[in-house]
């Protein structure tokens, strides 16, 4: 669903209890596969909510951001059938793709994710990325 420069997304995935979802393509292509976790484990139900915004209408051409949250629950170890801790992941992203001027082909991007595992051993994992892209022609 979109409105103005904003875009809102919802997604849901589920897996059977027999095994984790397979990814022979080297990356899991699910709607709830995000920056750190794929949320594709045995018996897991995952729900994603995302809000994105393009700041062009506010005079910041090429600046976009998004925030998303995924909640994964009910996962099990497929070998033992034992419950495994649930997880949440929060991702934040900010990028700038200038279309003209001195920085025209430069594209910086900042990404942050935090994964929270709970119900049992409570753990947090933080992932921060700075990505610098530069588009240039070889010919």
Average pLDDT value for the chain: 91
CA distance 84 to 81: 9
**Cα distance between residue 71 and residue 41, in whole Å:** 13
Is residue 77 a part of any domain in this protein? yes
Q: Is the pLDDT of residue 116 over 90?
A: yes
Domain extent at residue 40: 2-134
Predicted local distance difference test score (pLDDT) of residue 113: 98
d(CA 22, CA 41): 9
Q: Given a cut of 80, is residue 25 above it in pLDDT?
A: no
CATH number of the domain residue 53 falls in:
2.40.160.10
In a domain, 139, yes or no: no
CB 17 within 8 A of CB 80: no
- The per-residue pLDDT for 93 is 98
Report, as an integer, the average pLDDT of 26-48.
89
Average pLDDT over residues 37-61: 93
**pLDDT value of position 114:** 98
Question: pLDDT band at 27, cuts 50/70/90?
Answer: confident
At residue 112, the pLDDT reads 98
User: How many domains does the structure of the chain reveal?
Assistant: 1
């Amino acid at each position: 669903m979109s409105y103005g420069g904003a875009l809102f997304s919802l997604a849901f995935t589920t897996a059977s209890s027999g095994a984790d979802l397979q990814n022979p393509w080297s990356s899991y292509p699910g709607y709830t596969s995000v920056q750190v976790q794929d949320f594709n484990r045995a018996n897991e139900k995952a729900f994603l909510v995302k809000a994105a915004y393009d700041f062009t209408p506010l005079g910041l051409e090429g600046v976009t951001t998004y925030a998303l949250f995924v909640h994964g629950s009910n996962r099990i170890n497929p070998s033992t059938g034992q419950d495994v801790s649930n997880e949440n992941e929060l991702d934040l992203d900010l990028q700038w793709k200038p279309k003209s001027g001195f920085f025209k082909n430069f594209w910086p991007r900042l990404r942050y994710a935090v994964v929270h595992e709970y119900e049992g051993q409570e753990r947090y994992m933080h992932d921060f990325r700075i990505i610098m892209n530069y588009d240039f022609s070889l010919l």
